[in-house]
Amino acid sequence: MILKKIHYILLIVILLSGCSTSNQQMDSHQYKNLVFSCMPTQLFRCEPNQSACMTIPIAQTFDSVAITVDLSEKKIRSFSKNTLLSELTIESIQSAKQLIYLNGKGIGFDDDFRVWSTIINRVNKQFYSSSITTEAGYITYGECHESN
Amino acid sequence: MVNVMSLIKKTFKTNHYLIYLLLFIFLVSTNISHAENKTLIRSVDFSQQPDGDARAWLLERGYLLKLDADEFDLKFKNGQLNIKTSDSKASLFVLKLKPENYIANVSSIEMEWGVIKHPDGANWEEGNNRVALAFMFFFGTEKISSGLPFQINSAPYFISPFIGSKEQKGKTYTGKLYKKGGRYICVATTNGSNKLIKSNIEVNPEYMNLFNKDKIPPITGIAFQMNTSDTEGGAHAFIQKLNFYSSK
């Protein structure tokens, strides 16, 4: 009788651990084909010799900028209408607790070298991106919508 | 004519001096003929505007009021558009021209404007790039990087003449942003008064060489800005007239 109970308990534990493993695998695989469409909403520029970061208004004078995060292609692109403005190559992708961490570096279309990292929060549908060039650091906030 | 030539030759004794004289006459005559060919092709003139609020007038004509522009005082007074703030804020007033209204073949731009009060602390020489009043003339439609991430706020090539205070008259400055596509030129300096300043910039290949462009694209947008961010005491400036000339 006791052996039977132990057997059932072990069975339940095995089943539960199997489910848990399956969930983790889903989580790690699920994001790989995701595409996020994002809109920047806030931008800050920081310089070492400044006491505070400068708020850069997103003027949209010459059309708004849309950002696409394509995890299958490992690219972050920005567009103005249909014109490609910038393209970043994602070097690493990690995820945990509905947060996706992206990192990369390289010379952009503007000839500036930048190191950057971006976090996408799938729960509140927001992104936070920081980048550093030789002159300044930038923080960009935005809203994201995802699609497979 | 022969007598004149021989007289000149005698006067200067050598052909060396004669060549210099002829070259001088040629250059002077070329400049005179160049000036005579200047044609007014477009004008923005506030001199006939009755006194009153200017915000509605600007909006009706398609100006986009950007950044904190809504919080600036905009009035027509004495035939001048007055822009004023007592705060530390940034404003941008942009008129994007429709393709049929692009201003092509511009050789020079004349500005009649002035500064009544400069923002305290504005100084391009020391890196605080703020202005009581600056124009921005955008060339072409190609969007050039602002230097911001994701190319946010990209804009066409532009030159931006401004009235300075502590800056050097005639000096071209590069801002913290738009390093590739924008140049800011201090065309006049003043300590701030009601004095009307008449400024002129030549839109020639020399300017566009700043942007590595051989051919000057048409002007596709006009803007003016007042930026008192990171300064104190606010600012007050005015615009009376803007004339675009072609040399053709």
Q: Give the residue-averaged pLDDT of B33-43.
A: 76
Q: Within this chain, do residues A26 and A45 fall inside the same structural domain, yes or no?
A: no
- Using the Cβ of B180 and the Cβ atoms of chain A, whether some distance falls under 8 Å is answered with yes
Task: Pick from A19-23, A65-69, B227-231 the range whose average pLDDT is largest.
Answer: A65-69
Q: Give the residue-averaged pLDDT of B61-67.
A: 91
Q: What pLDDT score was predicted for residue A89? A: 94
Sign of the Cα pseudo-torsion (B172, B175, B180, B184, in order): negative
Q: Within this chain, do residues A16 and A63 fall inside the same structural domain, yes or no?
A: no
Q: Within this chain, do residues A97 and A27 fall inside the same structural domain, yes or no?
A: no
Q: Within this chain, do residues A53 and A85 fall inside the same structural domain, yes or no?
A: yes
Predicted ipTM beyond 0.90: no
Q: Within this chain, do residues A108 and A123 fall inside the same structural domain, yes or no?
A: yes
Q: Give the residue-averaged pLDDT of A82-104.
A: 92
Q: Within this chain, do residues A65 and A107 fall inside the same structural domain, yes or no?
A: yes
Q: What pLDDT score was predicted for residue B213? A: 73
Are B152 and A111 within 8 A, CB to CB? no
Q: Within this chain, do residues A67 and A80 fall inside the same structural domain, yes or no?
A: yes
- Using the Cβ of A114 and the Cβ atoms of chain B, whether some distance falls under 8 Å is answered with yes
List of chain B residues whose C-beta atoms are within 8 Å of the C-beta of residue A107? none
Please tell me the total count of domains within chain A: 2
Q: Within this chain, do residues A38 and A27 fall inside the same structural domain, yes or no?
A: no
What fold does the segment set B39-246 form as a domain? Jelly Rolls (2.60.120)
- Report d(CA A85, CA B61) in Å as an integer: 30
- Using the Cβ of B94 and the Cβ atoms of chain A, whether some distance falls under 8 Å is answered with yes
Q: What pLDDT score was predicted for residue B194? A: 81
Q: Within this chain, do residues A21 and A40 fall inside the same structural domain, yes or no?
A: no
Tokens of A1: 């009788």
Domain of residue A134, residue span? 34-147
- Using the Cβ of A118 and the Cβ atoms of chain B, whether some distance falls under 8 Å is answered with no
Give the closest of A54, A58, A86 to B153, CB-based.
A58
Q: Is B131 exposed, middle or buried (0-12, 13-18, 19+ CB in 10 A)?
A: buried
Q: Within this chain, do residues A24 and A97 fall inside the same structural domain, yes or no?
A: no
Tally Cβ neighbours within 10 Å of residue B46: 21
Q: Within this chain, do residues A52 and A17 fall inside the same structural domain, yes or no?
A: no
- Please tell me the least confidently modeled range out of B6-20, B98-112, B154-168: B6-20
- List the single residue in B with minimal CA-CA distance to A130: B149
Q: What pLDDT score was predicted for residue B127? A: 86
Per-residue pLDDT for B33 more than 50? no
Give the closest of A78, A111, A133 to B150, CB-based.
A78
Domain ranges of chain B: 2-34, 39-246
- Using the Cβ of B64 and the Cβ atoms of chain A, whether some distance falls under 8 Å is answered with yes
Q: Within this chain, do residues A7 and A51 fall inside the same structural domain, yes or no?
A: no
Per-residue pLDDT for B34 more than 90? no
Q: What pLDDT score was predicted for residue A22? A: 41
- Please tell me the least confidently modeled range out of B69-78, B129-138, B152-161, B209-218: B209-218
Nearest C-alpha neighbor of A72 from the set A128, A30, A119: A30
In this predicted model, which residue has the larger pLDDT, B158 or A1?
A: B158
Q: Give the residue-averaged pLDDT of A21-47.
A: 74
Cβ pairs bridging A and B (under 8 Å): 84
